[in-house]
A and B are shown apart, each in its own frame.
Chain A
Amino acid sequence: DIQMTQSPSSLSASVGDRVTITCQASQDISNYLNWYQQKPGKAPKLLIYDASNLETGVPSRFSGSGSGTDFTFTISSLQPEDIATYYCQQYDNLLRPTFGGGTKVEIK
C-alpha cells in the first residue's frame, strides 16, 4: 500500500498566520490527493480534492498544491474556527486509499 507521511504532527500558530502542512507519498500518485478537516467529536470534512481543487463552500483561505509525491496544504490566514486536525488522503489506487497521520492545528 502507498504510505503517506504528513508533517508536522502538530503546530501552534497565531490568528492571521499562514499555516503550511506537507504530505509526502511513498510513490508517484499524480494529483490523486485530498485534504480533510476534522474538528473534535465530528466526522472529517473534505476541503480539497485532486490536490488543488476547493470543495464547494470551503473558504478561499484554504488551498492545496503539488503533484507526484510532494503536496502542500495552506491556510493563508489562520482563523479561530480552523482549529482542527487535518489529514491528507491518497487515492492513486482508487480501491486502496490511505490517509496521512494527521496534523493538529492549535492557536498560540
Chain B
Amino acid sequence: QVQLVQSGAEVKKPGASVKVSCKASGYTFTSYDINWVRQATGQGLEWMGWMNPNSGNTGYAQKFQGRVTMTRNTSISTAYMELSSLRSEDTAVYYCARDLGGMTSWGQGTLVTVSS
C-alpha cells in the first residue's frame, strides 16, 4: 500500500533552517508529484509548494518564495522540504502529500517547533 513516512519532530532556534524528509513506498516514487502542506496548532491547512520527483521541477507558494526548497533523492524514494530563516510563526506540523489536484495519500506529519 502507498505509504509516506516523515522524519521526526524538530526543535529549532529562530533564524535556523529545518529539513524534513518524506520517504515513499508502495508505488513508483517518480510517477507522482509531492506537495508540502503545513498546519499551525489549531489552525487550517496551508499549501507550501509542490515538486515533481521525476524532473525535480518545483513550484512554491508566494508566501514561502526564497525561504523554502524542495528536493528529492530518487535512489531512496525520498522527498525533502527545507525551510530557512525560521521564525516563531513557522511552528507547525508539516505534511507531505502525494498527487496534484486531489492529495490522495499523506505522511503522518512532522512537528517543527521554533523557539529560543
Interface mask (B77-116 → A, CB under 8 Å = 1, otherwise 0): 0000000000000000001010011111011110000000
In the complex, the answer to whether B102 meets A101 with C-beta atoms within 8 Å is no
Indicate if B47 sits at the interface (CB-CB under 8 A). Answer: yes
Q: How far is B103's CA from A32's CA once the two chains are assembled, in angstroms? A: 12
A58 to B: closest C-beta gap in Å = 12
Q: How far is B102's CA from A32's CA once the two chains are assembled, in angstroms? A: 9
In the complex, the answer to whether A94 meets B106 with C-beta atoms within 8 Å is no
Indicate if B59 sits at the interface (CB-CB under 8 A). Answer: yes
The closest CB in chain A to the CB of B35 belongs to A97
Stretch in A13-21, A43-51, A72-80 touching the partner: A43-51
In the complex, the answer to whether B44 meets A91 with C-beta atoms within 8 Å is no
Indicate if A62 sits at the interface (CB-CB under 8 A). Answer: no
Interface mask (A1-21 → B, CB under 8 Å = 1, otherwise 0): 100000000000000000000
- Given A43-B95, A95-B50, A95-B59, decide whether A102 and B104 contact each other with a Cβ distance below 8 A: no
The closest CB in chain A to the CB of B62 belongs to A1
User: Count of chain B residues with Cβ under 8 Å from any Cβ of A?
Assistant: 21
Q: How far is B3's CA from A53's CA once the two chains are assembled, in angstroms? A: 23
User: Count of chain A residues with Cβ under 8 Å from any Cβ of B?
Assistant: 24
B50 to A: closest C-beta gap in Å = 6
Can you pick out 8 interface pairs between chain A and chain B where the beta carbons lie within 8 Å of each other? A43-B95, A43-B97, A44-B106, A46-B102, A55-B102, A89-B103, A91-B100, A102-B44
Indicate if A34 sits at the interface (CB-CB under 8 A). Answer: yes
Q: How far is B48's CA from A96's CA once the two chains are assembled, in angstroms? A: 9
The closest CB in chain A to the CB of B63 belongs to A1
In the complex, the answer to whether B44 meets A87 with C-beta atoms within 8 Å is yes
In the complex, the answer to whether A94 meets B101 with C-beta atoms within 8 Å is yes
* Residue in B44, B46, B62, B107 whose CB lies within 8 Å of A43: B107
Interface mask (A54-91 → B, CB under 8 Å = 1, otherwise 0): 01000000000000000000000000000000010101
Q: How far is B50's CA from A72's CA once the two chains are assembled, in angstroms? A: 27
- Given A95-B50, A99-B46, A99-B47, decide whether A43 and B102 contact each other with a Cβ distance below 8 A: no
In the complex, the answer to whether B101 meets A87 with C-beta atoms within 8 Å is no
